[in-house]
Amino acid sequence: MFSRRLRRPKSPDALKAWECLDRGDLPGALRLLRAGAEGMPLVEVALVAGRAAEAAGFEDVREAAEAVVGAPQQARALYDFGYACVERGVAGLAVPALREALRLTDGATPVLRELVAAYEDGARHREAADVLLAHETALDDWPDRYLLVLNAVLAGDLALARRQHALLGDPGDEMWLPARARQTRALERADAAGTVSPLDRADLRGWQYVMGGTVLGTLSPYGYDAGMNGRFAWLQDTYGQCLRGLSRLTSVLAAAQVRPASVSLLPDRSSRILGLAAAEVLGLPAVPFDAARADTVVIAYDLNETAETEDGPEILGALFDRTPGQVLHEHASCWTDPPAVTPDSATLLCQAVTAPWGDTLRLGDDGQVERGGPDERPQEEIAAEIVHADPTPDQGDGATPDDPGERLTEFVTAVRATWLRGDRARVRSTGPVPSGRFA
């Protein structure tokens, strides 16, 4: 076995991860390895990663790690290890190996592209753009310069993105045409949003719009100055917040001069509840979702929850391509595991959410926190509770900047010519605005 032939690492971080594996704590070892890989000797990263991969049954990573341990200056071994790590979702372990392989191969294009993929996987877009820029004279337009533009946008460097986008020639392969169109739309959205929004590292609404065309209705009132920048981590939702989201959706539609004729209901329970409430708030009929229906607002509570229904994957596939006049609104949009399609409008961004009618936490008679159990009332009754809730915003901790409705409608008025265009491709990156998250 690989692990029985290995020497113990000597660097402190690698040794701590190794000792976790001695105790059978694979998740703990991976946490330490991810956090410390950049500062460990490459051989020791491979030592620990190989042993962890053996425990997890990942033969590709184990074999690649063993090759690095045996030949730490062999570019092919380093590349194979990096590639295997990216494929297994531990791209942070790939970066040091791929950087060294890039140096040893004097900037070989396959290695450069794999290093960029590893940086992208970790939302390290500034580093991805920088390494591409350092090899600019050798870049192919497709995909390399395209990736430089993409990562410049996601790093918040619009000046670099615009310069490099202007240098892009027409792709020789038609497969790149949708990507070029998305990139062009993103830069057009940036031009529009920049007239009313700072597009700095705290401008969550502005960047959410630039990246995917989502108009963000509200900001989290907690932890803004502690690194959250308007996103929620865990959220126990309220009826009032649901109504506030629908009220803001109403304002967005009015400012954009979009006049839907119906509200379309998705199949999951939470989306149906919110959709029925939306129909009352908007004064529109509620109809079952039909992918071909135009001039409608499709209401989702959480698109990841919709995806788990029997017809969910098919529905989300149908929502990828835009039907004329169709607006997709999601109430609680997950920013750490973004939905398969990007909503046109979202009330809030969160990592995890419990709906007001879900299995919420509450104080029991003994003063201890307990689960209340899901609300089994009919959907129509719960929807009526949303409609009659108090939408007054939570005042939070007082650190979040004021975000009056007028600011939102001013933003929408400025960007409306660029809204509701193109497909709804998934946006995996958090972009230039960071937030703290649960590990």
- In a domain, residue 436? The reply is no
Above 60 in pLDDT, residue 272? yes
Q: Which residue has the higher pLDDT, 363 or 255?
A: 255
Whether residue 117 is found in the same domain as residue 216: no
The total number of structural domains that make up the chain? 2
Q: How far is CA 109 from the centre of its chain?
A: 27
Q: Which of 123, 121, 150 is nearest to 133 (CA)?
A: 150
In sequence order, what DSSP letters do the residues of 60-89 get, joined into one string?
HHHHHHHHHHH-TT-HHHHHHHHHHHHHTT
Burial grade of 123 (CB within 10 A; 0-12, 13-18, 19 or more): middle
Q: Are residues 138 and 250 in the same domain?
A: no
DSSP state string for 2-45: TGGGPPPP-SHHHHHHHHHHHTT-HHHHHHHHHHHGGGS-HHHH
Task: Read off the tokens for 108.
Answer: 């070989």
Residues whose CB is less than 8 angstroms from the CB of residue 63 and which lie 6 or more positions away in sequence, other chains included? 84
What CATH number corresponds to the domain at position 306? 3.40.50
**pLDDT tens profile 280-318:** 999 999 999 999 999 999 999 999 999 999 999 999 999
Task: Report the alpha-carbon distance of residue 187 to residue 257 in Å, rounded.
Answer: 22
Residue for token digits 């000597």? 10
Q: Look at residues 160, 185, 210 and tell me which one is the last residue of a structural domain.
A: 185
pLDDT band at 373 (very low <50, low <70, confident <90, very high): confident
**Residue 311 falls inside a structural domain:** yes
Q: Tell me the average pLDDT across 190-198.
A: 98
| CATH number for the domain harbouring residue 151 | 1.25.40.10
Contact between residue 297 and residue 322 where contact means Cβ atoms under 8 Å apart:
no
Are 205 and 161 members of one domain?
Answer: no
Tell me how many degrees the CA angle 326-295-334 measures, rounded to the nearest 5. 25
Which range among 217-231, 279-293, 364-378 shows the weakest confidence by mean pLDDT? 364-378
Q: Give the closest residue to 241 by CA, choosing from 338, 398, 384, 355.
A: 355
Does 172 lie in the same domain as 270? no
State the Cα angle at 195 between 193 and 200, rounded to 5°: 65
Residues 220, 173 share a domain: no
371: Cβ–Cβ under 8 A, 6 or more apart, which residues? 359, 360, 361, 362
Residues 276 and 335 in one domain: yes
> Considering the domain boundaries, does residue 429 fall inside one?
no
Report the alpha-carbon distance of residue 53 to residue 2 in Å, rounded.
10
Mean local confidence (pLDDT), 206-231? 96
Q: Would you state the pLDDT for residue 109?
A: 97
Query: Domain check: are 301 and 178 in the same one?
Result: no
Residue 273 has pLDDT above 70, yes or no: yes
Do both 271 and 170 map to the same domain? no
Residues 155, 209, single domain; the answer is: no
Q: What is the pLDDT of residues 88-116, one digit of tens each?
A: 999 999 999 999 999 999 999 999 999 99
Query: What is the average per-residue pLDDT within 405-427?
Result: 98
Mean pLDDT of 128-133: 98
Kindly compute the dihedral angle of the four CA atoms of residues 202, 203, 207, 210, in this order, to the nearest 10 degrees: -150
Residue 215 belongs to a domain: yes
Task: Look up the pTM and report it.
Answer: 0.94
Q: Is the pLDDT of residue 362 over 70?
A: no
Structural domain includes residue 146: yes
pLDDT score for 364: 56
| Shared domain check, 216 and 159 | no
Residues in the chain: 439
Task: State whether 12 and 117 are in the same domain.
Answer: yes
Residue 191 covered by a domain = no
Domain that holds residue 118: 3-185
Q: Are residues 175 and 244 in the same domain?
A: no
